[in-house]
C-alpha cells in the first residue's frame, strides 16, 4: 500500500491519504474519508474486510455516494470473496473486539450494504493483481 501511495503522489502531484497512517482516532479517520477523500482505493488482501476500520471506511465512502467518492477495489492474490454466511454473520467475520463501529453511527446493516456493493456492483471497476 505504501508503494502505491508513493506512486500516486508522484503521478498526480498531490498527497494520497493512507489510512494506516491514521488509525489512532477512528472518528477522525471516518470524517477524513467523508470530507477529504475523492477516491477510496480498497486494497483487498486476505484480511482487509475483517478489519473493522476498513469496513467503516468502505461504509463511510459508500454512504457519501458515488458522486462524492469513487471506490476502486484492488484484488490481491490472497483475497477471497467472503461467503454469504460470512456476510450474514458479520460479528463472526469482522473482529469488532478492537472497535465498535456503532459508536460512529455505522450499523451491521450499513456495513453489509456497503460490502455487497463493493463486491458485487457492476458499476465498480475491479483491478486484479496476479
Paired residues of 40 in beta bridges = 71
Which 3 state secondary structure label does DSSP give 43? strand
pLDDT, mean of residues 117-121: 91
Q: Strand locations in 2-126, DSSP E?
A: 39-44, 70-75
pLDDT band at 25 (very low <50, low <70, confident <90, very high): low
Paired residues of 72 in beta bridges = 41
Percent of the chain past pLDDT 90, that is, above it, reads 43
29-85 pLDDT, tens digit each: 888 888 888 888 888 999 999 999 999 999 999 999 877 888 888 898 999 999 999
Amino acid at each position: 500500500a505504501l508503494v502505491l501511495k508513493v506512486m500516486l503522489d508522484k503521478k498526480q502531484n498531490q498527497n494520497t491519504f493512507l489510512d494506516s497512517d491514521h488509525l489512532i482516532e477512528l472518528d477522525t479517520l471516518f470524517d477524513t474519508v467523508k470530507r477529504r477523500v475523492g477516491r477510496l482505493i480498497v486494497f483487498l488482501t486476505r484480511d482487509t474486510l475483517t478489519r473493522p476500520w476498513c469496513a467503516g471506511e468502505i461504509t463511510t465512502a459508500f454512504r457519501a455516494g458515488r458522486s462524492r467518492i469513487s471506490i476502486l477495489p484492488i484484488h490481491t492474490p490472497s483475497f477471497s470473496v467472503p461467503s454469504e454466511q460470512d456476510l450474514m454473520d458479520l460479528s463472526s467475520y469482522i473482529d469488532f473486539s478492537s472497535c465498535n463501529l456503532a459508536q460512529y453511527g455505522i450499523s451491521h446493516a450499513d456495513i453489509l450494504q456497503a460490502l455487497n456493493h463493493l463486491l458485487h456492483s457492476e458499476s465498480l471497476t475491479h483491478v486484479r493483481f496476479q
